[in-house]
């Protein structure tokens, strides 16, 4: 299943909404959106992942890429990830630097 990626601004939050599969084939689309989001100057980047049914290791690399691209004073928040996806993020230890929220 392809990945659908959208970007919007809601107040002081840049929202990236993902739907589909985040893998090696689709990660470049996510990377391009992260680069755009990094330039918006908001205090929070919210990555909505409720529609992501599968995340491969390329998805983890994408989250690391986001950490590298986005300023240190900007909070990265993953919202609504299904349990297998959030478990993958936690197992990789990214929950120490990325906020994971159910809503």
**Structural tokens at position 37:** 């989001």
For residues 22 and 52, the answer to whether their CB atoms sit within 8 Å is yes
- Which candidate, 95, 90, 10, 83, places its Cα nearest to that of 45? 10
- Which candidate, 40, 28, 43, 33, places its Cα nearest to that of 75? 43
Share of the chain above pLDDT 90, in %: 87
**The predicted structure's pLDDT at residue 22:** 94
Start-end of H helices in 8-98: 27-38, 57-69, 83-91
For residues 2 and 26, the answer to whether their CB atoms sit within 8 Å is yes
**Structural tokens at position 56:** 């491969």
The dihedral sign for the CA sequence 42, 32, 48, 88: negative
pLDDT at 1 over 80: no
pLDDT band at 41 (very low <50, low <70, confident <90, very high): confident
pLDDT at 72 over 90: no
């Amino acid at each position: 299943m392809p990945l659908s990626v959208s970007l919007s601004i809601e107040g002081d939050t840049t929202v990236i909404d993902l739907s589909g599969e985040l893998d090696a084939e689709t990660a470049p689309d996510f990377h391009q959106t992260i680069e755009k989001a990094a330039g918006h100057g908001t205090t929070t980047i919210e990555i909505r992942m409720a529609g992501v049914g599968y995340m491969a290791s390329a998805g983890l690399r994408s989250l690391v890429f986001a950490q590298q691209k986005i300023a240190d004073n900007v909070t990265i928040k993953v919202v609504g990830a299904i349990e297998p996806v959030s478990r993958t993020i936690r197992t990789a230890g990214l929950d120490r630097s990325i906020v994971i929220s159910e809503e």
